[in-house]
Structure 1
Amino acid sequence: MFILVQKEPERKLAIVSEAYALTFKAVENKEGGGRPSCAIELLPKTQLKTSYQKLTTHEVHGFLGLIELEHKIFICTITGKTKVAQPIPGETVNKIFAVDFFCLNDSRWDFVEIDSNGYPILPEEDYKAGQTPTVPRHPSYELRKLLSNGSFYYSSNFDLTSLLQNRGMSAHSLSFDNYQEEYMWNSFLMQEIITFRNRLDDNAKQILDDEGFLTTVIRGFAETFMTYVKQLKVSLTVISKQSWKRAGTRYNARGIDDEANVANFVETELIMYSREYCYAFTEIRGSIPVFWEQDTSLINPKVQITRSLEATQPIFDDHFTRLIEKYGPVHVVNLLSTKSSEIELSRRYRDHITRSKKLKLNKDIFLTEFDFHKETSQEGFAAAAKIRPLITQFLLESGYFSYDVREHKVLSEQHGIFRTNCLDCLDRTNLIQQFISRYAFALFLEDFHLMPTGQGSAFMDSDLFSKHNTLWADHGDQISQIYTGTNALKSSFSRKGKMSFAGVLSDATKSVSRMYINNFMDKGKQMNIDTLLGRLPDQSAVLLYDPINEYVTSQLLKVSDKFTSMSTINIFVGTYNVNGLTKKADLSEWLFPIGDKFKPDVVVLGMQEVIELSAGSILNADYSKSSFWQNLVNQCLNQYNDKYLLLRAEQMSSLLILFFVKSDKVNNVKQVEGASKKTGLGGMTGNKGAVAIRFEYGVTSFCFINAHLAAGSNNVEERRNDYENITKGINFARSKRILHHDAIFWLGDLNYRVSLSNEEVRRELVNKDANSYERLLNYDQLTQEINAGVVFKGFKEPTVKFPPTYKYDNGTNTYDSSEKARTPSWTDRIVYKGDNLRPLAYSDAQLNASDHKPVYAAYRAQVNFVDENVKMELTKKLYLDYKTSHPEESQNATLALIDVDYESKRNHLSKSASDNWSEMNLLDIDLTGDKLETQSQPLSPGSTSETSSVMSVPLQPTRREAISSNRARLPPPPLPASRHSGALSTGSSRINSSASLAQQAASKESQPSSILAPPPPPSRKATLPPGFSGAILTPKTNSTSTSRASSPASSTIKSPSPQGVISTPKSPVEKPTENSAEKPTEKPTEKPAEKPIDNSQKVPPAIPAKKPSLEKLSLDSWKPLTPK
């Protein structure tokens, strides 16, 4: 393929294949909210105008998609590749070493070569005497560097995202109907194009697929070696695919996310092909599926588990349920050590497996805990072979995929998977996965009499297993490079089977390099990954202009109530400077100021000075204080019937923020993250600064910042600087900032004072009347700053009707009586911003445990839900309705795809496609000779194609005769009954006849293709763990407090459901399948609540007696507050 440009009469770019051209033109999009847009057209190559000319001399090997960079639209293409693997005949894998980005709406970068630093190479005449021209760096430089680093692969003749066992041996298809989206790293770039393709008819889809316009790119590893099994020549291939769903660098991507995706998830497949048999075996790796992270600011980053066991369990179950559905039973191989840094993770992992109500231990999931460091500390890495007896039984039962090449039938299939992990899922995992692969491969060789039974140890030294070890060592280095930037540790042992002194020194060097890269380079690498995946806050996919789209968009707005719904939730926010409190205290006065009459759905509490503010304690922060306050708050919150779960605890030195959610609302909360920013001593210490959490409830985003600003009556400027530093310094994943959220709360000891003398303030408080607080607040520094718009711009605070909260004699209600006699001030505050928020209460609590009083605020928040599946079905139906009612217009509006000679051209261009695949050779992998060439000649980045014209057609692979063999052809041997009795005879048999293979192929053809791409995140199962409900519930309140009319934000949302209950989608939307995700818009089904898990069998505590003073209170006591 080539890329051409037309400058007049309008600028267009065209990617030209053998028979067709795909043209692009930037268009102005007034309806899309400023989103970058372009028009696309597919037409026969013969219809291209003569005004087109080549934009580059490089041949284009693949089209990766469209992306907006610096407000310009770029077309990304592969311009450099080398063939590295060929698992079976007709399937080749290419490594990408060069890509180019061509600008669609700016000619400045046309015909420009880019140097290694991203700057254009200018001709000599542009350089004036003694002057260097100032030219900008190419906008795509960072992405170009990322995509060209040797970790990305693609195929032009089969679906590289699939497994051999699933795609079959005979169908080499590039169809986008069945690709695995989680391994397609250019899915964001191709998002709109795939969506557009799925709206086309079958003939147009086939053109796009067959002409190679849509390219799937994976990230991972691929390599093929040739070797021998006795006299039989075989190819050995390893293909690894890393998921992009939770992609990132080592410390930026840990554990699991709310969609049940884990970091560093890699699917690895070993394939052996010969003229007689084909073999494949698959393994997976992935981070421990709990919410955990590590603080990169420490030399030895400490593991921190950030979510409670109860709140993590449903997501943990979802992760393994998806694995079981895809692979069968899962055998977990946990290699973590018993050291203090890792033992807590192992304990949590084990607890989740044993407590799960969905996963049955030793049936759905198996667990092997193997302390790698302990087992290999005395005898070296060879002692890792001790794991073999622990995994042999599962290996025999799960089996492997095997295929009879000459008889064209499947002999056995793999029905189970090993999921291996260590802390990083790198070095220890590499070695154990290599061991498991070797055991499985030896099992296959013995079963098919290709290796003498009982002589495995001698056979392990053969060239076959030497190549096997080299493949796994190369694979380990590549995965480690992706995740950490260095090669894998222990790779010397992986290659040679022994560890030399040079290998030890090499590992030490790699460890130091990793530390440097993690601290100084990973942030930039993470930004590039997020850009490629479309995760940046203001990033959106390039929109393909479609005249029908305007109609569909307008109609979707009219029926938005079918896929959007609205509800209200109650939020409780509290702040308390605890002054280093170490004794337990009853927090009920603070957390339940009107008893059980107000039970919030969401509770966020910010504490300051949880440790004593001394030099020693600040430098050596006691992070156990987080557990102390978690337990204290958890005890208080759960004193009534409703159960609250901790979803996040974020501590930085003396600052702590806790996030609790009512148990029946947990499933509505996603994307929970934490961040912190130090401002003490110029940003060096955490005695001042902020900790923050953010999350999404439905599709409404919230952010809470617990801040402790600079102290001192006259330090207003320092507090202003602290605010600015925190606002700029708090960054969440995907580059989200504080102001990127729908609702924002600042809480904490903001340290703003009353600018009056101590005597004046105290006199006003002693002689208090109805207007005393209002008169004092006229001199309140925070009120003055907000009114001036200097800080907290756009934020509001309900009217303050409580006395100053600082400073008291510790544990009393007496203002400071020390020599300093500090002026009473409202230092502890809560301010908010968001059109969907309505304040209900704002006051202090009379707790005498500190020199501050705690402050609380109650809010009612409007939250929105979007059912993406229903919206997608509606969109599809609207497209079909429009095409039916406007046949001529829709035909012109789609693409010029009609070509009467298409079938004959396609058959001519791929004349050998109908041949039986087994009669074709492996192109470069020649199984008839003794010599092997595993790679085509690499195409250098600067090389030019030898093709002289864009109209020329590349030569097709030549057909070769079937391979004859002088070796006696043995029938497939019967597999040993004793070994495979459990694997091949029970349940569904591993041995399939050719008839069953035909049925399998037929069933694949009958499966419906996906309508839109990329598909939504994997669905949650309808069965929830005890204590969880699939329905969104709203608090039971009286009509006056739930009236939607009283909400200032209600007018912005169309068609709200009455009484705060989520509306139910109506016809003509089809009902989702049984496996679809739980929709917040669906009407909740009445069913008895399940009993909560109680492993301790303790008698639940009695509900505390209500105080007489609270009996007279009701929710009506909290009238809606009017912000100042």
Structure 2
Amino acid sequence: MTSLPFRDINVHASASHYAFTSPSTPSAPTLVVDRPTGDLRLNDGALLGGKRVSSIAGILGMIRLRLDKYIIVITKAQPMGRLKGHMIYKVIATEFLPLREQPLHDPDEDTYLALLKTFIKSGPMYFSYSFDITNTFQRQSQLDQSQPLWKRADDRFFWNRFIQSDLIDFRSSGTRQHHGHQPDVDPYILPVMFGMLEIQTTRINSTPLTLVLITRRSRHRAGTRYFSRGIDEQGHVSNFNETEQIVILNDTTSGLGGFAGGGGMQNGKVGGSGGKEVQIMSYVQTRGSVPVYWAEINNLKYTPKLQIRGVETAVSAAKAHFDEQIRLYGDNYLVNLVNQKGREKRVKDAYEQMVKLLVSSPSERTQQDQLSDEKFHVVEPSGRHQTMDRLHYVYFDFHNETKGLKWHRAQLLLDQLNDALEKQQYFRGVDMPADLEGRLEVRNHQTSVVRTNCMDCLDRTNVVQSMLARFALNRQLVDLGVLPRGQTFTSDEDFEILFRKLWADNADVVSRSYSGTGALKTDFTRTGKRTKAGALQDLQNSITRYAKNNFMDGPKQDAFDLFLGAYLPRANQVFVDSRPLLVQSIPYILAFSIFFVLVGTFTRQLPDAAILPVRIFILFWLVVGGWCLNFIYSNGMLYVNWPKLNPRPWATEGYQEAISNVRKDKVIGNLVTRHDRTLSTARYTNAEEGKKRIE
């Protein structure tokens, strides 16, 4: 029996169970989920008594909330294109099937459901029934292709791993009635990836090829910009993304059209234009937050407060992080793009101190340039003794070098990395037409990776990554003979536009999931020039980011924690606002005061009406509004929309500090103290920072 996921599943619902069957594989056992317990079992043959509800594209997973358990099914999936003949889909719509027949309405349960539905709807999630999109081509070439798809999936990018854990546990150990392994469950387990995926069939110098860009977002330490920074104890960093740029040559099975008419079989060989070998080349890069314990604390100021804990305390976490990176990718070239002046300097210094602690007997050098004070700062091991000596730290002051719209100067970083890029190569494989499992004959490996970061790992990072991708792609096309030596694909205008669009789209997708807006500086990525219109768009995005990061990211972070299993719902109520009523009401008083000022200013006066009372009225509400605005800004931590499920430690500390300041306030201090006797800080401190589900 095939271990690939079913392409078609019917759901039958009855008062006692949900039954899942695959009409195209009638011999396969039926997966039954008993109601309301959620117990799983396999049934040979169809179950009678369940009216057919719907046909679905797959099971996303199962999740237990406060009062009930739900099966999340994918009801609509959009084809995104073919990759080596395998169709890739995007999740468009899902449905939550409750296990209780009579749903119990509860404000917290409804909030949990709303969080999850919004999250799934906004998150770009992709899957394939027959191709492993969580692994790079290089990793796929080293895996056992006979394993079920979910077992081959890279754990970091198996986005629905937590909500699939019921099915995976049942697969591994069965139940009291069904002991042992249950391989018949494999086709119901569908791994989903979160990130960016675009497949473009195009041509360069009249050579047809497929250009693919995939960015996979790690499910570990996932979250939003200011609520997820740095590293955790397990060595996972925030906003970790792996980007793979793929070029497929002589392939007639890619793109949306699938198998091209007449081109599929030529000269008795499958999948070739004129029987040429199908060539696959891929180039991989990573990005991730600076691997020390650090945070930026929202307080309604435009630039949040920066907090860095002692670097020494994070050494074991950083070692775990880089151990994994080196095991997976080989040598790591750590390109750091944060500023060397101002507030970002502390993050730069902490990163450099961490690398020095990790590599044995580090040697440092600074390379000068005629045009600027400092160009590069490099930390390298002087002798090669241990694993961590495969880290090579390169600092580039991106903002300083490119200021005044001199963006061509970013090329200096590439010149600095040139030897490393030459040495690291790229992955190249050739299709083996006789191999039924679609294995590749590997001709070349990528031996190292460039890990790029700025403060957010978004805007500067994407500009540099697109430049590295351009370098690799030019080299691949020359090596294949598609471009003559010394020529770059810039000479083909249509291809150049397509390449820029792919990387600008990538920037926007990664940025939207972390910061809430598209990326900054994408005018440079899209057009190759920094424009005034682009700078205005950046200003608009920056203002939107400020509003979203302060007032909307709390619930978004809660949705991440809920979906990925970083928080398990419990009986206690967590969405109650425990701030003193007076503190809660001040934004409303501010809104009223603005309204009354506008009414007083724009209401038409009778000719003989006295002006003084109206002026006093406007002045009074102006004073009230000004005081409210000052109060909110001075006590910003009370008005940030914090995550409520896994409260951040600095939010708890800041909350306590702000409340004690409010109690000393000359105007409302006494009122707050009087009504504050029963105040609970449950809003911030609930349940030991959320139970972690250790898988």
Report deviation, 1:446. Answer: 1.8
Q: Deviations over 1:807-850 (max 9, x none)?
A: xxxxxxxxxxxxxxxxxxxxxxxxxxxxxxxxxxxxxxxxxxxx
Q: Deviations over 1:368-427 (max 9, x none)?
A: 111111111134333322211111111111110012336852110011111000000001
Distance 1:510 1:318, change over 3 A: same
Give the aligned partner of residue 51 of structure 1: 49
Give the aligned partner of residue 39 of structure 1: 39
Give the aligned partner of residue 444 of structure 2: 412
Structure 2 counterparts to residues 130-141 of structure 1, below 5 A: 140-141=113-114
Unpaired runs of 5+ residues, structure 1, are: 28-36, 110-117, 120-133, 541-617, 622-651, 654-670, 690-708, 742-867, 869-1013, 1017-1124
Q: Work out whether residues 159 and 173 of structure 1, in 8 Å CA contact, stay in contact via their aligned partners in 2.
A: no
Give the aligned partner of residue 92 of structure 1: 87
Q: Work out whether residues 234 and 272 of structure 1, in 8 Å CA contact, stay in contact via their aligned partners in 2.
A: yes
Structure 2 counterparts to residues 406-485 of structure 1, below 5 A: 409-456=441-488, 459-485=490-516
Structure 2 counterparts to residues 584-983 of structure 1, below 5 A: 673-676=649-652, 687=661, 722=676, 724-725=678-679, 727-731=681-685, 736-737=686-687
Give the aligned partner of residue 154 of structure 2: 180
Distance 2:218 2:344 in 1: 24
Question: Residue 675 of structure 1: SS of its match in structure 2?
Answer: helix
Q: Work out whether residues 13 and 19 of structure 2, in 8 Å CA contact, stay in contact via their aligned partners in 1.
A: yes
Question: Residue 163 of structure 2: SS of its match in structure 1?
Answer: helix
Report deviation, 1:11. Answer: 4.0
Matching of residue 103 in structure 1 with residue 98 in structure 2: yes
2:290 maps to which of 270, 274, 288: 288
Give the aligned partner of residue 368 of structure 2: none
Distance 1:18 1:1015 in 2: 37
Report deviation, 1:166. Answer: 1.1
Distance 2:185 2:121 in 1: 25
Structure 2 counterparts to residues 219-368 of structure 1, below 5 A: 219-275=194-250, 276=277, 277-357=279-359, 361-362=380-381, 363-368=389-394
Report deviation, 1:674. Answer: 3.4
Unpaired runs of 5+ residues, structure 2, are: 1-7, 251-276, 363-379, 382-388, 434-439, 572-630, 639-646
Distance 1:397 1:467 in 2: 28
Distance 1:619 1:528 in 2: 27
Distance 1:710 1:620 in 2: 14
Question: Residue 187 of structure 1: SS of its match in structure 2?
Answer: coil
Give the aligned partner of residue 129 of structure 2: 156
Question: Residue 402 of structure 1: SS of its match in structure 2?
Answer: strand
Report deviation, 1:679. Answer: 7.4
Distance 2:282 2:563 in 1: 32
Matching of residue 510 in structure 1 with residue 541 in structure 2: yes
Distance 1:719 1:686, change over 3 A: closer
Distance 1:729 1:64, change over 3 A: closer
Distance 2:154 2:536 in 1: 40
Question: Residue 38 of structure 1: SS of its match in structure 2?
Answer: coil
1:397 maps to which of 423, 429, 440: 423
Report deviation, 1:184. Answer: 1.8
Report deviation, 1:104. Answer: 1.9
1:526 maps to which of 546, 554, 557: 557
Distance 1:676 1:739, change over 3 A: closer
Give the aligned partner of residue 11 of structure 2: 4
Report deviation, 1:78. Answer: 0.6
Give the aligned partner of residue 619 of structure 2: none
Give the aligned partner of residue 610 of structure 2: none
Distance 1:406 1:536, change over 3 A: closer
TM-score (norm 2): 0.72
Report deviation, 1:306. Answer: 3.6
Q: Work out whether residues 25 and 38 of structure 1, in 8 Å CA contact, stay in contact via their aligned partners in 2.
A: yes
Q: Deviations over 1:179-205 (max 9, x none)?
A: 222212212211122122123699975
Report deviation, 1:537. Answer: 5.0
* Identity across matched positions, percent: 26
Name the aligned partner's letter for residue 650 of structure 2.
Answer: G
Distance 1:259 1:722, change over 3 A: farther
Distance 2:677 2:564 in 1: 31
Give the aligned partner of residue 1027 of structure 1: none
Distance 2:361 2:146 in 1: 36
Q: Work out whether residues 325 and 332 of structure 2, in 8 Å CA contact, stay in contact via their aligned partners in 1.
A: yes
Question: Residue 528 of structure 1: SS of its match in structure 2?
Answer: helix
Q: Work out whether residues 359 and 391 of structure 2, in 8 Å CA contact, stay in contact via their aligned partners in 1.
A: no
Matching of residue 189 in structure 1 with residue 163 in structure 2: yes
Matching of residue 26 in structure 1 with residue 9 in structure 2: no
Question: Residue 482 of structure 2: SS of its match in structure 1?
Answer: coil
Distance 1:619 1:504, change over 3 A: closer
Matching of residue 62 in structure 1 with residue 58 in structure 2: yes
Q: Work out whether residues 292 and 303 of structure 1, in 8 Å CA contact, stay in contact via their aligned partners in 2.
A: no
Give the aligned partner of residue 979 of structure 1: none
Larger % of helix: which? 2
Distance 1:42 1:724, change over 3 A: same
Name the aligned partner's letter for residue 148 of structure 1.
Answer: K
Report deviation, 1:285. Answer: 0.3
1:166 maps to which of 139, 154, 167: 139
TM-score (norm 1): 0.46
Q: Deviations over 1:454-497 (max 9, x none)?
A: 122x6454433332221111111101110111111111221121
Q: Work out whether residues 678 and 688 of structure 1, in 8 Å CA contact, stay in contact via their aligned partners in 2.
A: no
Question: Residue 534 of structure 1: SS of its match in structure 2?
Answer: coil
Distance 1:151 1:740, change over 3 A: closer
Report deviation, 1:341. Answer: 1.3
Name the aligned partner's letter for residue 400 of structure 2.
Answer: K
Distance 1:3 1:145, change over 3 A: farther
Distance 1:231 1:359 in 2: 52
Q: Work out whether residues 64 and 569 of structure 2, in 8 Å CA contact, stay in contact via their aligned partners in 1.
A: no
Name the aligned partner's letter for residue 184 of structure 2.
Answer: I
2:403 maps to which of 363, 377, 380: 377
Q: Work out whether residues 339 and 345 of structure 2, in 8 Å CA contact, stay in contact via their aligned partners in 1.
A: yes
Distance 2:360 2:14 in 1: 61
Question: Residue 418 of structure 2: SS of its match in structure 1?
Answer: helix
> CA RMSD, aligned part only?
3.6
Count of paired positions: 552
Q: Deviations over 1:617-643 (max 9, x none)?
A: x9999xxxxxxxxxxxxxxxxxxxxxx
Name the aligned partner's letter for residue 24 of structure 2.
Answer: E
Q: Work out whether residues 13 and 104 of structure 1, in 8 Å CA contact, stay in contact via their aligned partners in 2.
A: no
Q: Work out whether residues 299 and 305 of structure 2, in 8 Å CA contact, stay in contact via their aligned partners in 1.
A: no
Q: Work out whether residues 427 and 444 of structure 2, in 8 Å CA contact, stay in contact via their aligned partners in 1.
A: yes
Name the aligned partner's letter for residue 178 of structure 1.
Answer: R
Q: Work out whether residues 19 and 47 of structure 2, in 8 Å CA contact, stay in contact via their aligned partners in 1.
A: no
Distance 1:368 1:239 in 2: 25
Q: Work out whether residues 297 and 650 of structure 2, in 8 Å CA contact, stay in contact via their aligned partners in 1.
A: no
Distance 2:192 2:295 in 1: 29
Distance 2:561 2:57 in 1: 25
Name the aligned partner's letter for residue 39 of structure 2.
Answer: A
Name the aligned partner's letter for residue 14 of structure 1.
Answer: F
Q: Deviations over 1:565-616 (max 9, x none)?
A: xxxxxxxxxxxxxxxxxxxxxxxxxxxxxxxxxxxxxxxxxxxxxxxxxxxx
